[in-house]
Each structure stands twice: as C-alpha cells, then as structure tokens.
Structure 1
Amino acid sequence: MSEVETIQEIAFKLMLEQNKNDKILNGTTEKTIFVLGSKGVGKSTMINNFLDKNEPLRTTPTLAIEYSYAKRTNSNGQSNQKLIGNIWELGSLANSNQLIDVPIKSHGSLENFSAVIMLNLAEPDKISLDLEAALQGLKNSFSNNFNDSEIRQFREKIIENEAYKNHPDIQTLEIMPCQVVILGGMYDQFENLNSEIKRHVIKFLRSISHTIGSSLIFYSSKIPSLAKTVRDIMSKLAFNSPLNPIRIQRIDYNEPIMINALSDTWEKIGVMPSNSERISIHYNTQIKQNKKTNDNSLKEVVTNPTNDVNFREAIIDDLRAMKDEELLRLIKHSDVKIKFDSFNLTNSPFNYLN
C-alpha cells in the first residue's frame, strides 16, 4: 500500500512544477545559493545587504530555514532573459539534516547550485566543528538526493575547468560537486586576536578551502570594502556576473584573506597534501574545540515567537488574539466552576471530612 502524501509534499511538488513551467514560458535562468554556518555570525545581515533590504538589525536568530530571492533582466539584444537568484538561509546547524535537503530538492540539480559557508572568526574554538557540520550536512544531502554516478558527473563537470585541469595538486583534492565559498565572518573582531591564533585559523581555513576547491574570503559588515566584495560574490553566484570580485589575492594573516578557488597550493600554504579529516584533527590539537552550543539560550529567546516583531502577520495575529480571548474565557469559566464545586463539596452533608 502506497503512503498518502501530506499537504506539504503535494504543495512542494506543485511549486516545482510551476517553477518548471515558468522557466519554459519565460526563458528564465535560475540559480540557487544556500547560506549556512555558525549561529549569530551575520548571515541574515549579509543577505539583506545583497538584496538591498534596509531592515532593522534582528535581535533574534533565524529559527529554521528562510527563503528569499533576487531578480534581474539580462538584455541580449533579441530578448530579455529573466535571471532569478534563489537564496536559502539555514538558521542553525544543530539537528538540521532534513532542512539541508530543502534547498537542494527545490533546485533539483547541482549545476547552478552553490553553497556559502559562513564561519565566526571571532570564535576559533568553534570554527572546526561548525565547518565540519556544514560540509558533512551538504555531503549527506547530496547523497540523499543524487546517486553516486550523478554526484561524480557534477564533480567532473567542475574539474573540466582549465584552472582545475592544470592545477599541480588536483590529484590530492576532494573537490565538492557544487561551487562553494567559505566566508570568515566577524573579521573586525578577528583582526584583534593573538597573532599565533590567527596563523592557526588561517592555515586551517586555507587548507580546507584548498582541499574542497572553494574560495575563501574574510568578511565584516562593518568594513565597507569587505561588504562590497561579498555583495559582488553573491551577485556572481546568483546571476553569473562577468566581473571577478576577487581581483587581488591576499594571504597575509595581518590582512583580510581573499583567495579564489584553486588559486592556492599546498606549497603556498606550507603544509603537506592532506584530507579534510586530518586537517581538522591537526587544528583541533592546536586550538581545542568547544563542543558546548547555545541551544538552551536559543530556546529561551524563542519561547514565545508570537511576541516577536519579526514574525508579525496581521491576519494570523488577529485570529490568534480571538482564540486567546476565547481561551481566557474558558479558563475563567473553569476556575469559577472549580470554586463552585469546591464550595458545594465543603458544605455538603455527605462530606465526611468535616
């Protein structure tokens, strides 16, 4: 007996079908960017900056997963091609296995799919765990949605690029089957850390980025030049803009790091060829990772999201208010009934406790 589809599953299929029809009719090109990583690092602020949203600074974290999009029209002389950039943001890496599947399922292919992993540079004792969780989550999701042959084809298509073919380290790398960018957030705080800690963090992130074939950029919303660079990177991922956002490579640990994918080498980093697992183990021996999370504080913050201005919905709020009033009347009626029954019981001639 086949399982009955839920309303959510039916709606999801209808959305995919509608998107497919729209692309056929309008000649629309779609790309998807999945932003995930450390909690509280500024993922929403970075996305809003790209979308030109002048929203007030959020006081609560993104709860689960959020969706937004950007549109452009590319005029090529004969027709106006619509470009759509779908942007998904994952609030927390904890218990997010099913949520990570959503952006990948909605896109249906890895050819025009990219992942932006944003890490908190100000917390070196959590970077390794956050990066490992993000990469493992992506890999698991790829396996859930594509077979080994499809993943191999996506990876081979990326490696067909001349920059990859001619790279001296290509045989030692674990190239991801989609485009990946690692953003080191909170750089304005990181630059004031101890020099030795900064060296360890940078060497670790350069090594992992090189291993998986990703770009590595340090970022802060408080530094205009870095904010503009990341905005340009998001534009390139969403709309394939021709300009390269990283015009000058920077590898000095006293400056914000800027490295294009496959521009680094093991020799430049100063380490022997390795894999992501051994790189993480080595980093963890230098900077012990703090496995404690802030899940409890998150629960406290979002105990009652109906009081949060970020979740205002006029129609839903009005209905909720009506139900709250109805509930209060029921509770009041129940309290009166309990007192009345208690009074009758106390004064009853059948009360043997008197």
Structure 2
Amino acid sequence: MPKISSDSLWELAAAEVRSGESGAGEEESGAGEEDGGETVSERSVVLMGSKSGGKTSILLRCLDRDETSKPTLALEYTFGRRARGHNTPKDIAHLWELGGGTSLSDLVQIPISPVGIRSLSVILILDLSKPNALWATMEKLLQAAQAQLEKVSTQAQKAEKAKAKHQTAVHSAARVLPKDYPDRELISPFPVPLLIVGSKYDIFQEFDSDKRKVVSNTLRFIAHYYAASLIFTSIKSENLMSKTKSYFSHLAFGLDRGKTFSCDSNKPLIVPAGADSFSQIGSPPATDVDITSLHAKNPKDLWKKVYERVFPQESTSEQMELKDPAKDPQYSEPQIDAMRAQKDQELEQYKRDAAKSWKGLELET
C-alpha cells in the first residue's frame, strides 16, 4: 500500500474546505432573494410594538413553543428553523424582539443593519385594548425603524458604489411595488415588508361598535398607506392565531400567507397588502367631529387628528423601569450574583473611605 505523505493529506483537506466554502458562498448569495427560483435560506424579522401588548406570547405561538412568556428585557434575539422537505436544509429565521414599547426605540439600529437588509421584515404589534396609546406608539416606532432603514440604505448604496467591481451581500432597502398596486401614486410604502398586528382582539370586540369602527378603519388606512398587511388576533383564539401564524411564516420563511380578506369592523380584520384601497376604506369615520374644522396637511394628518379627537393620546414618554434587571430572579446566577454582591460592598466601602479623605482635606484647607 503506497504511503500518503502528510502534505498530500493537508492538500486534500484544504481542497475540501475550499469546496465547502464555495458552496456556502453560493447559498449565502441567494439569501433573501427569490429570483431564478432560488429558495431563501435566511431571513430576519424585527418585532416591536405596544408595551405588554403580547409580542412574546404571539411569537412563541407562531414558533409552536410551549413556553411561559416573560417580559422582554430591552432587545432579545431568538431564531426559528423550518425544514423544506425530507433530508433538506432548514430555512432559518433570525427573530429580534424589542421590548419597552417606545422607550427603547433607539435599539432598532442593532437588528436593522446593512447586512441582510433585503431579507428583513418588520412586525408591528399594537394593543387594541388600549386605543388611547395606539397611534402614538405606531407613529414613534415606525418613524424610528424607517429612519434607521433609510440610514442603512444610504450606507449600503455608498458601499456598493465603492465596491462596484466586487459585489458583496450588502443591498439597499429599496422596495418595489407592482405597477398595478392600488393607489400606488398616493401611498408611501414602508422600505421593507411590514405586518401590522392588532393584539388582544378578545377585549377589543367588547368595545362600542362606533369606537371599533374608528380603530379598524384607521388601521386599515395606515396599513394601506405603508403598503402593509393587517391582521387582528388574540392568543385566546386558535383560529385567529392560525391565521396570524401564516402571516408570520410568510415573512419568516417565505410561505404562502393565504388569500383571506375581511374588512368588516364587526369582525377581526384580515387585510393582505395590496388587497385594500382608499376608495374601499372611505373617509375618516368622524361621527362627532367636524372634519372641515380640522386643519390637516395631508390625508394621514387628517386621519390622525380625527383619531385623536375620539381617542386622546396618552403620553408616550415611557420611562425605563428603575428596577435593576440584574436583581430579577429570572436572570439569577448564584456564583456571579455572589461576586457582584462582594464588588458592590467593596464599592460602598471605597465611597465611604473617599468621602472621609475629602472631608479631611477640606478641614486642613
């Protein structure tokens, strides 16, 4: 049997690695694209919305995870995987959940980055049981996300120009709608696919019918204005959660979202992007408001003024809780906590000693 030199083995190993990297590079270059029949391998989804609006509970249900939801601490990451078939690679969804309502909106700059922006989607979850905070929450979070998307898009365009000869995986946040998209010239599409979810429908359905109509039609207008999909849901309804999961899977794994359409304000709304129009939505349902007395700059501003007349908005200056997360029982680490307690004691002793030395210095002076 001929002897194989160590150099030959290294050469074979190096060739195997290069072959693997080449295959991985081809797969990565197709991530986030559906051109040429290529299947998306990785996508990213950012979830944000009302504080205590049910974001974590909805996410766990969509991932079929039987876990007890806990309050989201700042920005949390998880992922989901789905097999395309038997003995095939699994698609991966990178999932970012922003906690704290609007108080931590600046953190959207972490998941919204130039890398993989073409495979990014946003899910905005609004608490229907708190209509007096709904518009302000929606407006601040979408503005924060859009500002970061525009910033990232500008960075990506500069990077592409600088590396025109060497194409990279960096892309702009350009979103192109079909030419026959309803009201295409009158809307302002969100830079990336957007899904608006109205949570806690089980509570909302008990509201007065006129108030339900104002909330429903307003969210229909907002969704159509941003070329977004809209769905009302409740974790207490298996039927609604099933439909919500299909929309989530559409963004996370590229699956079919279904063609169900429901715009009756007396029922849960299910409005796919592109299925609605301003003519179907109509004018703001201002039964007790004289629209002619409102000085609005544009249709969106008019809807905002009417909505805030019906539901005066609460202050969105949500203060971060003073509670130290390090002392939260759900994040306990006995050894680390013991060391932390020791360091805290040493710090307090240092402060006392420093205070004594300063007092002594003052007396001598």
Deviation of the 1:230 alpha carbon: 1.3
Instruction: Confirm or deny that 1:101 pairs with 2:109.
Output: yes
- Decide whether the 8 Å contact of 1:218 with 1:258 is kept in 2: yes
| Letter of the 1:89 counterpart | E
Listed as ranges, the matches of 1:44-55 within 5 Å are 44-55=56-67
Segments of 5+ residues of structure 2 without an aligned counterpart are 1-20, 32-40, 159-170, 285-297, 353-365
The answer to whether the 8 A contact 1:185-1:220 is kept is yes
Q: How does 1:269-284 map to 2 (within 5 A)?
A: 269-271=281-283, 275-284=299-308
Q: Distance in 1 between matches of 2:304 and 2:90?
A: 42
Letter in 1 for 2:177: I
Does structure 1 residue 299 correspond to structure 2 residue 299? no
CA-atom RMSD, angstroms? 3.2
Q: How far 1:334 sits from its partner (Å)?
A: 11
**Residue 122 (structure 2) aligned to one of 115, 119, 122:** 115
Q: Give how far 1:150 is off.
A: 5.2
Residues 1-354 of structure 1 aligned to structure 2 (within 5 Å): 23-24=24-25, 29-58=41-70, 61-75=71-85, 80-105=88-113, 108-147=115-154, 154-155=173-174, 157-160=175-178, 165-241=179-255, 243-245=256-258, 247-271=259-283, 275-291=299-315, 293-295=317-319, 299-300=321-322, 303-312=323-332, 314=333, 317-325=334-342
Structure 1 range deviating more: 285-294 or 170-179: 285-294
Q: Which amino acid aligns with 1:91?
A: G
Distance 1:255 1:35 in 2: 25
| Cα shift readout 1:77-116 (whole Å, capped 9, x = no counterpart) | xx833311000001024343531111111x6243211100
Instruction: State the distance in 2 between where 1:269 and 1:334 align.
Output: 64
Change in CA separation of 1:45 and 1:67 when aligned onto 2, cut-off 3 Å = same
What displacement does 1:52 show? 2.5
- TM-score (normalised: structure 2): 0.72
CA distance in 1, matches of 2:299, 2:265: 22
Task: Classify 1:201/1:22 alpha carbon distance in 2 versus 1 (closer, same or farther; 3 Å).
Answer: farther
How big is each residue's C-alpha offset from its partner over 1:147-203, in whole Å with a ceiling of 9 and x where there is no partner? 299599744x4313xxxx223411111111210000001111100011111111111
Q: Secondary structure at the match of 2:42?
A: strand
The change in CA–CA distance for 1:91 and 1:329 in structure 2 (over 3 A counts) is closer
1:237 Cα deviation after fit: 1.0
TM-score by length of 1: 0.74
Report the count of equivalent residues: 298
Please give the secondary structure, in 1, of the residue aligned with 2:330: helix
Q: Which runs of 5+ in 1 are unaligned?
A: 1-19, 336-354
> Conserved in 2, the CA contact under 8 Å of 1:120 and 1:186?
yes
CA deviation digits over 1:278-330, x for unaligned, max 9? 422332223211115553xx515xx1323423323x4xx31221342565589
Contact 2:231–2:269 at 8 Å: present in 1 too? yes
